[in-house]
Amino acid sequence: MTTPTTATTATTSPTAQRHEDPVIRVQHLRKAYRDKVAVRDVSFEVGRGEIFGILGANGAGKSTTVEIVANLRTADGGRIEVLGVDPRRDPAHVKNRVGVQLQESTLQGQITPREALRLYAAFYPDPEDPEALLQLLGLEERADTAFDDLSGGQKQRLSIALALVGRPEIAILDELTTGLDPQARRDTWGLIERVRDSGVTIVLVTHFMDEAERLCDRLMVIDDGVVAALGTPAELTAAPDGRRTFRLALPPGHSPASLGLDALPEVTDITPAGAGWTFTGTDRVLPAVVVALDGQGVVPDEIQTRTRSLEDVFVELVTRTEEKI
Ligand code: ATP
């Protein structure tokens, strides 16, 4: 028997993801770097006040997508609307209203957080108070420390502060917590929630499933330049078609076939897994198997139920795409 393909519950149709008050609308985005197609066909909307996550393996096309939204790159095809306008046609409309924290942004080594924030604030007509940002980001005590002497977490928080200094309506944060220790990551998550609570829409590019699951209202998984899944974390991890899975270990001398478990109508699939088997079936599969075992006086060695994590979903999606190639 083979493992059933666990189809994603999420939709890739942009029309099915219409949002009431979209601040970003992207339709059929396409971008190639010479002969390397980075983004093949990506469509999504981000609603005002959302934390929208973009997940994907290395090279999937995440950064290219957000850089086009931020008007830092030009698309080869597709429609892009940011705050109601095409950023290419009206760059000024977008420039001061979208804050961007890009991967690996570095500053000149001797500049301090206070100086950097004051400098960046001068570029905007109505900037945030640098002192308030230092406080919000927990950087007051390091405000006069040279950039080179800041810890990784402090540099990261400074780059978020710089993305926020222009009082953006949309903040695009790429690889928010890469390189941070677990405590710094959690602190940063709390900070992002506070920023969202202040009314900013956040687009978060991340490799981390826990981060996406914890922070994002909706997620898009990009795989090889196309949208592999789009939905809330709950939608993405829901059992597809109401199917349930559990693992069962039987006492020596028994097998699912010898007990007739493979013939139960609730069971659709049984695959060997370690010392036991993984059962897949309808939402009644677990009680059906337990009753059948009990009827034959067999006490299972182990029963383990589990729900899919976002990581399971991600691996399924990426594997399925590789199989297609
Ligand atoms: P990562 O998680 O590694 O940052 P990503 O999902 O953000 O990856 P992109 O940075 O958008 O992916 O890159 C998509 C593809 O386009 C990759 O194969 C990358 O090597 C390629 N690419 C990105 N930028 C350029 C460029 N300036 N010139 C040529 N190829 C590029």
The string of DSSP letters for 15-29 reads GGG--SSEEEEEEEE
206 within ligand 1 shell (Cβ under 6 A): no
Asked if residues 99 and 171 have their Cβ atoms less than 8 Å apart, the reply is: yes
Asked if residues 96 and 171 have their Cβ atoms less than 8 Å apart, the reply is: no
CA of 50 to the centre of ligand 1 (A): 25
Question: What is the mean pLDDT of the segment spanning 222-241?
Answer: 86
- pLDDT surpassing 60 at residue 227: yes
- pLDDT surpassing 60 at residue 283: yes
Mutate to test the pocket of ligand 1, among 40, 62, 68 (most ligand atoms within 8 A of CB): 62
> What burial letters (b/e) apply to 46-84, b meaning 16+ CB within 10 Å?
bbbebbbbbbbbeebbbbbbbbbbbbebebeebebbbbe
- pLDDT surpassing 60 at residue 292: yes
CA of 59 to the centre of ligand 1 (A): 5
The percent of residues above 90 in pLDDT, for the chain, comes to: 52
Q: Give pLDDT, residue 17.
A: 52
Coil vs helix vs strand at 241: helix
**What's the pLDDT tens digit per position in 146-168?**
999 998 888 888 888 898 888 89
| Residue matched to tokens 């659709």 | 268
Q: What is the C-alpha separation between 65 and 63, in angstroms, rounded?
A: 5
Q: Give pLDDT, residue 3.
A: 35
38 within ligand 1 shell (Cβ under 6 A): yes
- pLDDT surpassing 90 at residue 264: yes
68 within ligand 1 shell (Cβ under 6 A): no
- pLDDT surpassing 60 at residue 31: yes
Contacts (Cβ under 8 Å, ≥6 apart) of 19: 45, 46, 47, 50
Query: Where residue 2 falls among pLDDT bands split at 50, 70, 90?
Result: very low
36 within ligand 1 shell (Cβ under 6 A): yes
Q: Where are the alpha helices (DSSP H) in 165-309?
A: 182-197, 209-215, 233-237, 285-295
- Residue spans of beta strands (DSSP E) within the chain: 22-33, 36-47, 51-55, 77-82, 98-101, 170-174, 201-206, 218-223, 226-231, 244-249, 267-273, 276-281, 302-305
